[in-house]
């Protein structure tokens, strides 16, 4: 933060980037993943796209229109809520660590899977259950570390600076 360097969080580095950066996160920088076919998804690990960049540009739109998409906006809303509640940044991933929330957002917004693997994962109830179970196990393992190592008084100020 001191040197204004954009840091990317790809699983287990949420303490470095202040949580998940998917969906074009507002606070502290974020990103969207655009594949070679123009599908725009929240993250390379969340392969569900509500829009195609080629279609948006053909209609006279811009990246701002993509960023404003309700699917991405709801992801940013969840991130902000998670940040405000001092959620566990050792487990910030919407897909891997909070899959039930992602499942609800997908059901609400119905983004398209960007490939057959994403479609298969979406349609496989066992896949979703396994990720939810993993998230619970990891939460149980990491929560005490999060509180003991990262949310102590001084460290809390460092990691949860208002407006970071």
At 68 the pLDDT is 98
Residue 104, both tokens: 């609800």
At 9 the pLDDT is 56
pTM above 0.75, yes or no: yes
Cβ(83)–Cβ(19) under 8 Å? yes
Residue 125, phi then psi, degrees to nearest 5: -65, -30
Query: Tell me: the pLDDT tens digits for 101-153?
Result: 999 999 999 999 999 999 999 999 999 999 999 999 999 999 999 888 888 74
The CA distance from 90 to 163, in Å, is 20
Query: Tell me: the pLDDT tens digits for 133-147?
Result: 999 999 999 999 988
The CA distance from 68 to 64, in Å, is 6
Residue 21, phi then psi, degrees to nearest 5: -110, 5
- Alpha helices, DSSP H only, in 3-52? 14-17
DSSP code, position 22: G
What are the domain boundaries of the chain? Answer: 14-159
Count the residues in the chain.
Answer: 164
At 161 the pLDDT is 54
């Amino acid at each position: 933060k001191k040197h204004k360097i954009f840091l990317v969080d790809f699983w287990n580095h949420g303490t470095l980037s202040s949580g998940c950066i998917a969906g074009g996160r507002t606070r502290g920088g974020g990103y969207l993943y655009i594949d070679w076919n123009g599908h725009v998804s929240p993250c390379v690990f969340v392969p569900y796209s509500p829009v195609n960049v080629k279609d948006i540009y053909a209609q006279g739109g811009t990246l701002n229109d993509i960023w404003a998409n309700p699917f991405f906006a709801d992801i940013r809303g969840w991130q902000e809520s998670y940040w405000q509640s001092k959620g566990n940044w050792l487990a910030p991933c919407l897909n891997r660590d909070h899959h039930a929330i992602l499942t609800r957002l997908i059901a609400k917004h119905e983004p398209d899977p960007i490939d057959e693997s994403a479609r298969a994962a979406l349609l496989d109830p066992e896949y979703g259950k396994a990720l939810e179970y993993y998230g619970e196990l990891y939460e149980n393992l990491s929560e005490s570390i999060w509180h003991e190592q990262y949310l102590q008084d001084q460290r809390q100020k460092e990691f949860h600076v208002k407006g970071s």
